[in-house]
Amino acid sequence: MISFFRYLFMITWTIVCISLSLVLMLILLNRSIPLRMARTFWAPGILKLAGVRSITTDGLDNIDSTKTYVVASNHLSYLDIPLLFKTLPFNLYFVGKKQLKRVPFLGWYMMLTGMFFIDNKNKRKTIESLNSAGKFIKEGKSILIFPEGTRSKTGEIGDFKKGAFILAAKSEVDILPVKITGTGKIWNVKHGTLKPGSVTVQILKSLPTNTVQNLAIITKRAITSV
């Protein structure tokens, strides 16, 4: 019953934040407003409502504020996106499955703020989406990608797909590896339950795509080893 009310409050908070941010964006004609609001209002609220008691962030000094990154993180829970929105000190764009377009409020938010959608069943359209994301990166916008392609139901880190790393190499920006711990225990994907707890975000040293080979393997190894 407690989880039900937490879900209800989280959905309500998301609808309120998205609606307000999109109205402000349309009034002020500024696409960055919803992203800033997501970092400063929506994400902290969602994490608190879900039961995140504390957040430990290590490695912020590994971020160069003058650079743009492709952020590559492991994926444990629906809480991973708000967690990274809150902890990383820059606006994030992300690549999601095309099915998200049909989700009320969230899909509208993603489309109006310039997020990217991929069709895993259509290789050509996936490449087109990644090329579009590459143009955004060259304009100075950091992209978040979960290279596993889906949430881990066991907590173990799965194989990393190569799309994120090809995107980074083509855009000539560094990979910023991030390891998340704890979100899967708070929001259990398998059982759909919410249980209060603490989380950790470990930001690792960036990997230059112009000098490092086999980026998918090296990035997974870096995240797994911490």
pLDDT digit string, tens, across residues 129-171? 777 777 778 888 899 989 887 787 777 888 888 877 887 888 8
Q: Does position 10 have pLDDT exceeding 70, yes or no? A: yes
* Range of lowest pLDDT (34-43, 72-81, 124-133, 137-146): 124-133
Looking at the domain assignment, is residue 125 inside a domain? yes
Looking at the domain assignment, is residue 3 inside a domain? no
Q: Does position 87 have pLDDT exceeding 90, yes or no? A: yes
CB of 14 closer than 8 Å to CB of 22: no
* Segments forming the whole domain that contains residue 188: 53-225
pLDDT at 150: 79
The enclosing domain of 164 has a CATH number of: 3.40.1130.10
- HSE-CB at 78 with a 13 A cutoff on CA atoms is 14
Higher pLDDT, 126 or 46: 46
Looking at the domain assignment, is residue 39 inside a domain? no
Looking at the domain assignment, is residue 75 inside a domain? yes
Structural domains of the chain, count: 1
CB of 187 closer than 8 Å to CB of 77: yes
User: Residue 164: CB partners within 8 Å, gap ≥ 6?
Assistant: 70, 72, 145, 147, 175, 216
In the sheet with 116-118, reading across from the earlier edge strand, the strands are 52-58, 197-203, 174-181, 69-73, 142-145, 92-97, 116-118
Mean pLDDT value across residues 27-53: 93
- pLDDT digit string, tens, across residues 50-59: 999 999 999 9
Mean pLDDT value across residues 109-119: 81
Backbone angles phi, psi at 196, to 5 degrees: -55, 145
Looking at the domain assignment, is residue 118 inside a domain? yes
Q: Which pLDDT band holds residue 212 (cuts at 50, 70, 90)?
A: low
Looking at the domain assignment, is residue 20 inside a domain? no
Looking at the domain assignment, is residue 86 inside a domain? yes
Looking at the domain assignment, is residue 181 inside a domain? yes
pLDDT at 190: 76
Higher pLDDT, 198 or 4: 198
Average pLDDT, the chain: 87
| Interhelix angle 215-225/163-171, nearest 10 degrees | 110
- CA 215 to chain CA centroid, nearest Å: 19
pLDDT at 99: 80
Q: Does position 210 have pLDDT exceeding 80, yes or no? A: no
Q: How many CB atoms lie within 10 A of CB 9?
A: 15
pLDDT at 18: 92
The burial of 112, by beta-carbon neighbours within 10 Å (0-12 exposed, 13-18 middle, 19 or more buried), is given as: middle
